[in-house]
């Protein structure tokens, strides 16, 4: 069943609001476990979920810094909150195509230029990442060493300058495409009409009720 993007956005906002509000380790760990299992079982993932794989170094750094500055319990709470936010964002963006994300934001009556900036960023991050990998492979074929060594720091320009040039070219092509398609024209229409179904309201109510129950559990440690 295709779920209305507004429902997905509201669920994502609920997760983003609840995760920082949790004050105990057990409810936060339980929510993180549910998010990990949901990402793991999704059809788009094989192996370790990408938000977990990419966010683990950052989570470890936050834990180490917090453990030195505070106590281990505070460090664990901070790292689990960061991990939960990364997992919630990963679950949201993996369940929605950029077009659906843009439609959901527009249905909440956000200005279209803002929606366009957000969705274009989502599209261009993997594109720039792919360009960066191709530039690195090409420079390695020319004998440039990019291994993590102190003497290789000066070789970063051989990677960044071509990427900067390609980024400017992409920006110029995007500007030409926007101008040719009348970006500033008013009365923009949508390719698809959305209508929230009763089952989607029930799903939203169930998820928000579960998040509310999690907050109640967090505030009542004896229950």
15-41 per-residue burial string, b: 16 or more CB within 10 A, e: under 16: beebbeebeeeebbbebbeebbebbee
181's enclosing H/E stretch is none
Six-digit token pair at 109? 């009556």
Segment 41-62 shows an average pLDDT of 68
User: Does residue 205 lie within any of the structural domains?
Assistant: yes
> CA nearest 49: which of 98, 100, 93?
93
Top pLDDT among 204 and 181 is at 204
Task: Tell me how many degrees the CA angle 11-13-19 measures, rounded to the nearest 5.
Answer: 100
User: Does residue 116 lie within any of the structural domains?
Assistant: yes
Helical H segments across the chain, by residue range: 5-21, 25-41, 50-69, 72-94, 98-107, 112-141, 157-180, 198-219
Q: Is the pLDDT of residue 202 over 90?
A: yes
> CA nearest 118: which of 135, 101, 136?
101
Residue 212 has phi, psi (to 5 degrees) of -65, -40
pLDDT per residue as tens digits for the range 95-148? 888 888 888 888 888 888 888 888 888 788 778 878 888 888 888 888 887 776
Residue 118: CB atoms within 10 Å: 14
Domain count, the chain: 1
User: Does residue 191 lie within any of the structural domains?
Assistant: no
> CA nearest 17: which of 221, 153, 218, 215?
215
User: How far apart are alpha carbons 68 and 66 in whole angstroms?
Assistant: 5
Q: Is the pLDDT of residue 209 over 90?
A: yes
Mean pLDDT score of the chain, rounded to an integer?
83
pLDDT per residue as tens digits for the range 58-97? 888 888 988 888 888 899 999 999 989 988 888 888 888 8
pTM: 0.73
User: Does residue 175 lie within any of the structural domains?
Assistant: yes
Task: Place 15 in a pLDDT band, splitting at 50, 70 and 90.
Answer: very high
User: Does residue 104 lie within any of the structural domains?
Assistant: yes
> CA nearest 84: which of 112, 111, 51?
51
Task: Place 187 in a pLDDT band, splitting at 50, 70 and 90.
Answer: low
12-21, 109-118, 151-160, range with the lowest pLDDT: 151-160
| Domain enclosing residue 26, as ranges | 5-183+197-219
Six-digit token pair at 199? 């089952």
User: How far apart are alpha carbons 163 and 133 in whole angstroms?
Assistant: 10
User: Does residue 92 lie within any of the structural domains?
Assistant: yes
User: Does residue 111 lie within any of the structural domains?
Assistant: yes
User: Does residue 190 lie within any of the structural domains?
Assistant: no
């Amino acid at each position: 069943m295709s779920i209305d993007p507004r429902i997905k956005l509201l669920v994502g906002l609920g997760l983003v609001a609840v995760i920082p509000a949790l004050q105990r380790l057990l409810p936060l760990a339980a929510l993180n476990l549910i998010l990990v299992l949901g990402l793991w079982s999704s059809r788009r993932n094989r192996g370790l979920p990408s938000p977990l794989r990419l966010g683990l170094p950052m989570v470890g750094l936050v834990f180490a810094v917090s453990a030195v500055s505070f106590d281990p319990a505070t460090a664990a709470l901070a790292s689990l909150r960061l991990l939960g936010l990364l997992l919630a964002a990963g679950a949201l963006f993996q369940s929605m195509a950029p077009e659906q994300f843009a439609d959901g934001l527009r249905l909440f009556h956000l200005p279209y230029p803002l929606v366009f900036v957000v969705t274009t960023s989502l599209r261009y991050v993997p594109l720039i990442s792919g360009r960066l990998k191709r530039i690195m492979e090409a420079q390695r074929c020319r004998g440039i060493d990019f291994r993590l060594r102190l003497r290789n720091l000066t070789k970063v320009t051989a990677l960044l300058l071509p990427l900067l040039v390609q980024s400017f070219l992409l920006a110029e092509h995007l500007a030409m495409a926007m101008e040719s398609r009348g970006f500033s024209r008013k009365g923009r229409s949508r390719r698809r009409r959305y209508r929230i179904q009763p089952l989607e309201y029930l799903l939203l109510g169930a998820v928000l009720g579960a998040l509310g129950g999690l907050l109640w559990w967090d505030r009542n440690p004896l229950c």
